Structure 1
Amino acid sequence: MEAEGIRLNKFLSEAGICSRREADRLIEAGKVRIDGQAASTGQKVLPGQTVLVNGRIITAAGGNKSHKEKPVLLAVYKPKGIVCTTSHKDRAPNIVDMIDYPVRIYPVGRLDKDSEGLILMTNQGELVNKIMRSGNAHEKEYLVKVNRPVTDDFIRKLKKGVFLSELDVTTKPCFAAKTGEKAFKIVLTQGLNRQIRRMCGELGYEVRLLKRMRIMNVELGDLKPGAYRELSKREYHQMKEALKGSSNLSYKEQKKELSDGRQTR
């Protein structure tokens, strides 16, 4: 462990416990303790300190049992009505319980409860961070069905970027194409909260079906709702290759790092 310590959410992620985002939720829920004291978001773990999650001692990467287990990376078809979390706060069934996999795994990112389709699940924290970081611009493709005919103007506006009034942000330019009278596909490289639903809403459309078909090079294929499969060696290799140049840092952290680098030149 670094002499000056490591951020707690990163520590838990690298130990294979959960993603950094999920770690922050566990910390906020009071389920993480350091040397017997309730941990706080942003806190650092120093060498020699004891970290517990739900009463279980967690050791640094390389010393935790989960790191000795075989790496797991699954393609899962999340059905509508399932929540993408490891928590049991939501009354709806969560995806971890649905899969009931023998090794502890967690979802890479999220799909809304009302959405369905492909989601990746893994026990590899670093992989999660690289895929989820918005600054890394990894593609996710969706099939969307709406409540009225899709027009050329609607597609043009989606591709250009839509201002989301609730979030006070304009979406990045993206690929979109009509696939049916009331259907289209869209490829995003960012993951704003309920982004596609908000984009459609701003343009006067209501989403009736939202299905994720692809994440990077991994496709949903012929998986049935609730089913899962291991990634093939080829898929895994292609993904690892695509992630080689990706950062573990958040978009803001990447910008700061770049800015600091420029200032030192």
Structure 2
Amino acid sequence: MTDPGQAPAIRLAKRLAAEVGCSRREAELYIEGGHVSVDGRVVEEPGARVGAQQQVRLASGARAEELPPVTLLLHKPPGFEAGLGLGQTPGEAHASRSRGEAPLALELLRPDSHHVGEGPPVRVLGRHFKNLACHTPLPTEASGLVVYTQDGRVARKLQQDAETLEHECIVQVAGQIADGGLQRLCHGLEFNGRPLPPIKVSWQSEQRLRFALKGIRPGQVPAMCAAVGLSVTALRRLRIGRIALAPLAEGQWRYVLPWERF
């Protein structure tokens, strides 16, 4: 029961704006930028409720700036779903699992799975995991590079260049390839009733093929392999355009660096 003499909790943004003498919008930017702590713990939600006795502090040198949109690269393990559209909320993801559906690859994007590599340091913020869209889907059973972005320019690039952007995949196969099968994989097959353009296909080992193809469609690689007597047992995407999967381990993600382009 609330003490009648105790002031009610208020929104963190309102409290901060009053204490530092800034606008409510500036207060929200400080908070979303990870510059505000409550009782020594960083809080990134402007709507968080704080009591009168709690200590609110703004970090020294903090600037109220709009956060630029980010693009994240994930090494998706097999068994996770990565499809088109905006990521589901945690509640929707839980409902999907309750129905027996595959867990979302989006759930792997967490601060503790961030791969810190080369490039300027980036502060991992909660805002970076919101409103992410995936325009590079992978089958649930496949693994490899998946792109999630908040940046409309990157999303448009991936959509507009879908037919010309090269994808490199390593495909594990079983079975005996038909005579002339490798040549047919490179050129001469159809998919969904339409002739396929020339594709770069080569053997990496006795059971592994490397595909480098543009305008890849769901189910295309397994159908191509089946047409020459092979079945696909595993598929991993190594590259999209000029951006490669390495050095990410399965389940890890990183930020696209400022100078990287697809």
Q: What TM-score do you get using the length of structure 2 for normalisation?
A: 0.59
Structure 2 match to 1:94: 104
Structure 2 match to 1:169: 194
Runs of 4+ more than 6 Å apart: none
Cα distance in 2, alignment partners of residues 127 and 134 from structure 1: 11
Q: Is the 8 A contact 2:178 2:228 kept in 1?
A: no
Asked whether 1:217 is paired with 2:227, we answer no
Residues 134/227 of structure 1: CA separation in 2 closer, same or farther (3 Å cut): same
Asked which structure has the greater CA Rg, the reply is 2
Following superposition, the deviation at residue 191 of structure 1 comes to 2.1
Partner SS state of residue 126, structure 1: helix
Asked whether 1:137 is paired with 2:164, we answer yes
Residues 223/149 of structure 1: CA separation in 2 closer, same or farther (3 Å cut): farther
Show CA shifts across 1:119-159 (max 9, x none): 11110133223213356501110001100355772221111
Structure 2 match to 1:70: 68
Following superposition, the deviation at residue 170 of structure 1 comes to 2.3
Following superposition, the deviation at residue 186 of structure 1 comes to 0.6
Following superposition, the deviation at residue 118 of structure 1 comes to 0.6
Residues 214/207 of structure 1: CA separation in 2 closer, same or farther (3 Å cut): same
1:60-209 map, 5 Å: 68-85=66-83, 86-87=87-88, 88=93, 89=96, 91-100=101-110, 102=126, 103=128, 104=130, 105-133=132-160, 136-149=163-176, 153-164=180-191, 167-209=192-234
Cα distance in 2, alignment partners of residues 205 and 69 from structure 1: 48
Q: Is the 8 A contact 1:163 1:171 kept in 2?
A: yes
Partner SS state of residue 193, structure 1: coil
Residues 128/146 of structure 1: CA separation in 2 closer, same or farther (3 Å cut): same
Show CA shifts across 1:152-197 (max 9, x none): 7222111104213xx2222221111111011110111112121111
What runs of 5+ residues in structure 1 fail to find an aligned partner?
1-67, 240-265
Q: Is the 8 A contact 1:130 1:136 kept in 2?
A: no
User: Structure 1 counterpart of 2:164, which letter?
Assistant: A
Following superposition, the deviation at residue 98 of structure 1 comes to 2.2
Partner SS state of residue 75, structure 1: strand
Cα distance in 2, alignment partners of residues 214 and 152 from structure 1: 29
What runs of 5+ residues in structure 2 fail to find an aligned partner?
1-65, 112-125
Partner SS state of residue 233, structure 1: coil
Cα distance in 2, alignment partners of residues 219 and 151 from structure 1: 31
More moved, 192-201 vs 134-143: 134-143
Identity of aligned residues (%): 23
Q: What TM-score do you get using the length of structure 1 for normalisation?
A: 0.58
Show CA shifts across 1:61-103 (max 9, x none): xxxxxxx431211221011010014344572111222214722
Residues 95/106 of structure 1: CA separation in 2 closer, same or farther (3 Å cut): farther
Q: Which has the higher helix share?
A: 1
Give the RMSD, CA atoms, in angstroms.
2.3
